[in-house]
Homo-oligomer: A and B are copies of this chain.
């Protein structure tokens, strides 16, 4: 009996903010069948969809690190899935895999485009593929390890600190012995960063005395700035950079939804303070993922790294509003949509 497949496609490229109901649209089509599979392919049911700041960039046709999603195409997205049928020895029905199935309930995924649970050491829950051991944690690990390189006693500032990447980046810096200031968008998030995640200081950038507090918190200047937001806070971080500071350019979320981005006026500090500013895209570092996941998994097991998940239930119908919320800071930790309630008995985890 053919099943319906609910999916979300890109209907229109946004120029500024995503417009709910116009930028993305839902559609129902027949789900792919096991009999559709060719050698090497698997048929999956999507359990969880990761919502990520990068999605706004994927909707734009500006030159970037990967081609944009095409109009009419199913929106791109990372997912944790259960295998329904398989024509490869690398996965059996019931296995959990991660892949980029996109904003859809069912998908066919070719060989080499999925990762089995065995790639996730210590995995206990399919959610971990998208959160604690997922791409945002890998992003935090790569940026801190290869660019930031915080040393014990150094001063690290993380923006977007209550987000999926920032919350892990700050925790990694703490594990490596640095003093960590997190910047986020609410007092509640500040409390969570300090109380739950062990940040030394957390500052709410919406507070009226934020600039003063930022200066006070960085009075010995900044060794490592892990940038998730760009814009004004990047500008302030430049003005407080120590000599030879490292600026880990991971994301500029404050600038994604505008066609008139603001450039940092203090960029000349790059010269006078000899700043090393390095942008990166985590997908370039796939060779490091096994090592990163081993380390993250061990920290998790030891209780040194806290999981930070923010799961929206309600299926794909709530995904677009979830994404809009992401740019407005509704989430605390990794934002994930539960697409299909996982039947844990049916999974080989």
Interface residues of A (CB under 8 A from B): 57, 63-65, 230, 234-235, 243, 249-252, 255, 260-281, 284
Q: Tell me if B277 and A251 are in contact (CB < 8 A).
A: no
Q: Tell me the bound Cα distance from A53 to B158 in angstroms.
A: 34
| Residues on B with beta carbons closer than 8 Å to the beta carbon of A284 | 274
- Identify whether the interface residues of A are mostly helix, strand, loop, or mixed: loop
| Residues on B with beta carbons closer than 8 Å to the beta carbon of A272 | 57, 63-65, 279, 281
| Residues on B with beta carbons closer than 8 Å to the beta carbon of A277 | 270, 275-279
Nearest first, the 8 A-B pairs at minimum CB distance are A263-B263, A270-B279, A271-B279, A277-B277, A263-B264, A64-B272, A252-B268, A263-B265
| Residues on B with beta carbons closer than 8 Å to the beta carbon of A64 | 272
Min CB–CB distance A186 → chain B (angstroms): 25
Min CB–CB distance A276 → chain B (angstroms): 5
Q: Tell me if A255 and B268 are in contact (CB < 8 A).
A: yes
Q: Tell me if B268 and A261 are in contact (CB < 8 A).
A: yes
Q: Tell me the bound Cα distance from A269 to B235 in angstroms.
A: 16
User: Which of B57, B243, B261 meets A265, CB within 8 Å?
Assistant: B261
Q: A263-B267, A270-B277 are in contact. List 9 more A-B contacts (CB 8 A).
A: A57-B272, A63-B272, A65-B243, A261-B265, A261-B267, A262-B265, A270-B278, A274-B280, A277-B278
Report 10 cross-chain contacts, Cβ distance below 8 Å, ordered by A residue: A65-B272, A65-B273, A65-B274, A249-B270, A252-B271, A262-B265, A264-B267, A270-B279, A271-B281, A274-B279
Q: Tell me the bound Cα distance from A251 to B270 in angstroms.
A: 10
Q: Tell me the bound Cα distance from A271 to B227 in angstroms.
A: 10
Q: Name the residue among A65, A249, A267, A274 with the largest chain B CB count within 10 angstroms.
A: A267
| Residues on B with beta carbons closer than 8 Å to the beta carbon of A252 | 267-268, 271
Min CB–CB distance A251 → chain B (angstroms): 7
Q: Tell me the bound Cα distance from A63 to B274 in angstroms.
A: 13
Q: Tell me if A278 and B281 are in contact (CB < 8 A).
A: no
